[in-house]
């Protein structure tokens, strides 16, 4: 089979469309920016580079894309995490398994978090966010987080581990928030419903 490579222009455009710069891509792939640039300019580059850039997650929705990949992988392998099968007591009458429920009862609607690492272009280190929804997926919980930048995404516990930290504050006005849609969430953000910097903790 004759495998046609991306042209240098197509390669560069695809990287940009997915929200990446060569320097960031180099860091992600563990190679130098010069190497990435050379690969991009080479119309006869190895096929795996085209496959890699076509499969890049969108940097602006990194957590969401990585969560989708993880689910696809788990479905393909039929995996059930051993840690997720062990029930632990979270202090209430309800038992939840560890692993994907490890933040159960700790991350609630209205909890304020801060980015402990850059979350793509969504949030830089230190940017605050508010949990606007906690959803049970059947095998764990995922957390909708709206950042003070106005961008939002869903985070699994493994993403919380990497990208977010609790700071001991809650937005009292958001504790009863009822998420209905992306459009409504955006409208509520623009209307100032969320207080990322409450005066009293």
pLDDT at residue 176 greater than cutoff 60: yes
Residue 98 vs residue 168, higher pLDDT: 168
Q: Give the phi and the psi of residue 71 in degrees, each rounded to 5.
A: -65, -45
pLDDT band at 96 (very low <50, low <70, confident <90, very high): low
pLDDT band at 99 (very low <50, low <70, confident <90, very high): low
Closest C-alpha among 169, 177, 176, 158 to residue 197: 169
Q: What confidence score (pLDDT) does residue 85 get?
A: 36
Closest C-alpha among 95, 74, 84, 24 to residue 53: 24
Please give the Cα distance from 169 to 110 (Å, whole number): 9
Please give the Cα distance from 59 to 18 (Å, whole number): 6
Q: What confidence score (pLDDT) does residue 115 get?
A: 92
pLDDT at residue 82 greater than cutoff 50: no
């Amino acid at each position: 089979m004759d495998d046609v490579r991306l042209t240098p222009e197509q390669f560069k455009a695809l990287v940009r469309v997915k929200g990446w710069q060569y320097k960031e891509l180099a860091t992600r792939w563990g190679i130098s920016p010069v190497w990435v640039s050379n690969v991009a300019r080479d119309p006869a580059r190895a096929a795996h580079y085209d496959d890699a850039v076509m499969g890049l997650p969108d940097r602006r929705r990194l957590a969401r894309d990585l969560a989708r990949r993880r689910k696809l992988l788990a479905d393909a392998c039929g995996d059930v995490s051993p840690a997720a099968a062990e029930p632990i007591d979270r202090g209430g009458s309800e038992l939840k398994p560890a692993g994907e429920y490890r933040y159960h009862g700790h991350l609630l609607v209205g909890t304020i978090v801060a980015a402990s690492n850059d979350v793509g272009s969504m949030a830089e280190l230190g940017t605050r966010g508010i949990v606007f929804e906690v959803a049970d997926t059947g095998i764990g919980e995922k957390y909708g987080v709206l950042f003070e930048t106005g961008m939002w995404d869903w985070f699994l516990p493994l993403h919380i581990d990497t990208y977010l930290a609790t700071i001991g504050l809650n937005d009292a006005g958001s504790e009863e928030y009822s998420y209905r849609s992306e459009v409504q969430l955006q409208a509520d953000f623009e209307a100032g419903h969320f207080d990322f910097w409450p005066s009293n903790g």
